Structure 1
Amino acid sequence: MISVIHALVAVADLFVLSLIIKPFDPEETWYVGKEACFISALLLLVGISQFLIRDIIYDNPANWSFGYFIEEIKNAYLVGILFFLILLPLNFIRLNNRHIRNAQRINALSDFSKSDKSSEVFVETKLKSESLHFDIRNFLFARADGNYIEIFIEQHGLVKKNILRMTIKDLESNLASFYNIVKTHRSYIVNINHINEVSGNAQGYKLTINNSDQVVPVSRAMIDHFNTLLKR
């Protein structure tokens, strides 16, 4: 019964900490360093929680001593670190292998060169001098950079970068009617018709774009949506 109580407290701590962090740190920005910090915070919370429930489990007048406080935190880290030293590498390998396999399957089965009808797009910003006209067929990808958006457009075999003062969300709304325009990351929108190759790693996919040496990421949070669009 004591072991069950300790385990349930740890599960409750994991649930609470996940709810707290999720709104501030979406999955697409999650990587090994942040995962290690999350685990460290979780183990600290587990240690504190185990100390607070000592009176429920143990009939010991010294339950609230500083020595037991340090001991519970130390025990949480000793047990937790041993567990996660095994779990973290296994999870990294699992995600890496899965995304590599899926990327290879996409390259083998997907046709990225689907033709689209010519359609003029007008992207308007608050400053009219920064507004932009282009043919949607020539749109390669866009990347958020602070308060600006970098839009990469192909013209006569050359790639031109256009910088507009707007958010990635506003650009996404402007291009929402085009099925081939996909948001792959909180900072990237890409034209899937200009994808040259897809590669995978533990964080998701990496896209190479025609006539560009820049790599566009597909975050783990966006992979399912990206895969669904490619199957159309």
Structure 2
Amino acid sequence: MDSSAWGLLFQGAWTTAWISAVSIALGVVLGLIIALIRLARLPFIHQLLGTYISIARATPLVTLVLFIFLSGPTFGINLDRNVAAIMALTLNTTAFNAEIWRSAFNNFSNDQREAAMAVGMTPWTYFRRIMLPQTVITSLPNLVNEMSFLVKGSPAIAVIGIVDLTRVTNRISAVTYDPLPPILAAALLYMAIIDSWYGVSGSLNVRQID
């Protein structure tokens, strides 16, 4: 491949990376909020959020992308392609992240809570200084795995015309009639994006151990 092809691939990789990164950041935060709300077990809200999680986890990502982008005009809303892609990816990953957070909170040792209350800590102080930091560390491997799954599923956004890494690869293959080089290059770029998430996870874990 020539330099122009590599330039297009890097542009596609950048599009994949930043859309995935924004969706991941939103998904982690929203997933945490939903997990905490569900732990409160407010009857109607708990059931409503549980239904959302079940639907979002069961719906193919490409279907979710198409639904959000194409249903907008029905309600008089013309969504930008990038916004629609971020919304779809965020809705998908939030559902998985919420269950990861909820599982971590449910498995947290109650002994630490009793000890914190015994020394006079308020529930908020206990949550902020003891429960949340430890839950973040224990949840990190699963959260990073979910991040990698989202990046792998991100080619779904190409169906609404976003020129991501996969779409660029297809375009180059169509022009050169030699699909193997761009596919191999795209695979390496996807690996680089995903490995960066695992690198962040590893550095955080080492820092916690130190």
**TM-score calculated relative to the size of structure 2:** 0.26
Larger Rg: 1
More strand by share: 1
**Could you tell me the TM-score, scaled by structure 1's length?**
0.24
- Structure with the higher helix share, 1 or 2: 2
- Structure number with greater CO (CA < 8 Å, separation at least 6) is 2
